């Protein structure tokens, strides 16, 4: 059975994002029926401002997000929900 636990599930603010550990997998709530607004590994601190701009442009800023250990952890979580993420 898939692990249905995320590391965290919180509102995605810039302050919160800047404190995340590099390399964790960040996934926003769904935008389309089965597609998150944003999903990506958290970049090194030197690239965070650029990544934050991408997050904001995607519509994920200020929305609920989930943090996973890595993409495989997220995929396992998704498979446990029986959703089809494109």
Determine, yes or no, domain membership for 1. no
Tell me the C-alpha to C-alpha distance, in Å, between residue 1 and each of 4, 5, 38, 69, 77. 9, 12, 26, 17, 10
pLDDT value for 77: 83
Structural domains of the chain, count: 1
How many angstroms separate the CA atoms of 60 and 20, rounded? 16
Would you give the distance in Å from CA 78 to the centre of its chain?
Answer: 12
pLDDT value for 2: 45
Range of 72's domain? 8-81
pLDDT value for 7: 87
The pair of three-digit structure tokens given for residue 77, joined into one six-digit string: 């979580």
Determine, yes or no, domain membership for 3. no
Contact indicator for 67, 74 with CB cutoff of 8 Å: no
Determine, yes or no, domain membership for 86. no
Determine, yes or no, domain membership for 64. yes
pLDDT value for 85: 54
* pLDDT tens, residue order, the chain (86 aa): 345 577 899 999 999 999 999 999 999 987 666 678 899 999 999 999 999 999 999 999 999 999 999 999 988 887 877 655 55
pLDDT value for 39: 92
């Amino acid at each position: 059975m898939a692990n249905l636990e995320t590391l965290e599930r919180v509102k995605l603010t810039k302050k919160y994002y800047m404190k995340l550990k590099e390399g964790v997998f960040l996934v926003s709530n769904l935008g389309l029926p089965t597609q998150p607004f944003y999903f990506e590994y958290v970049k090194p601190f030197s690239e965070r401002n650029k990544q934050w701009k991408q997050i904001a442009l995607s519509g994920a800023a200020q929305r609920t997000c989930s943090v996973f250990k890595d993409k495989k952890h997220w995929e396992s979580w998704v498979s446990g929900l029986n959703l089809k993420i494109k």
